[in-house]
């Protein structure tokens, strides 16, 4: 079993924020692959399905971004999984809007959701960093990530989320492949 976690903040107020692109990716995967309806468990919303022949639990922590590790850690402990079974989808300001990078391990890069995950599960999990662009100056970062995507962003965002959903099975297979 694998756990795919999309990071974001709960509630309609944050629904279209750049910070919630992880939730958007999880929703796209659930829709594309006919996962179960979302239900509440592990301080989050969960949906179950199959990707690349592997059973996958999608989780959207409802603890707010800065405490994401509590929810994801609870799910991993329940299923007796280690961090290698985890793939996390989240926003990355240091990537150009529309770019995606996948890696295993690393630091938090100042991302509080990732910092929380590292504290609760270690850092040896797969990260799918989704570029939302940088506002240009450090003082504007908070407002940028908590701001909604512009209408013009929807063109690339919808295509990108579709591509992530289409290729989620490859991430599942890569996570379970022997090293």
Catalytic residue of the set 19, 33, 111, 144 = 19
Is 111 among the catalytic positions? no
3-state secondary structure the chain: CEEEEECCCCCHHHCCEHHHHHHHHHHHHHHHCCCCCCEEECCEEEEEEEECCEEEEEEEECCCHHHHHHHHHHHHHHCCCCHHHEEEEEEECCCCCCCEEEEECCCCCCCHHHHHHHHHHCCCCEEEEEECCCCCCHHHHHHHHCCECCCCHHHHHHHHHHHHHHCHHHHHHHHHCCC
Write out the catalytic residue numbers.
Answer: 19
């Amino acid at each position: 079993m694998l756990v795919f976690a999309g990071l974001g903040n709960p509630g309609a107020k944050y629904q279209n924020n750049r910070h919630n692109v992880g939730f958007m990716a999880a929703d796209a995967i659930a829709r594309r692959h006919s996962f179960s309806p979302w239900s509440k468990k592990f301080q989050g919303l969960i949906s179950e399905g199959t990707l690349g022949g592997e059973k996958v639990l999608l989780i959207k922590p409802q603890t707010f971004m800065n405490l994401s590790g509590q929810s994801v850690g609870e799910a991993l402990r329940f299923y007796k999984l280690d961090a290698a079974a985890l793939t996390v989808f989240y926003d990355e300001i240091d990537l150009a809007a529309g770019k995606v990078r996948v890696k295993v391990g690393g630091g938090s890069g100042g991302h509080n959701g990732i910092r929380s995950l590292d504290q609760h599960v270690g850092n040896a999990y797969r990260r799918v960093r989704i570029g939302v662009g940088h506002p240009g100056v450090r003082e504007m970062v908070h407002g940028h990530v908590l701001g909604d995507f512009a209408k013009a962003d929807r063109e690339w965002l919808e295509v990108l989320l579709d591509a992530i959903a289409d290729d989620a099975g490859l991430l599942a297979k890569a996570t379970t492949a022997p090293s």
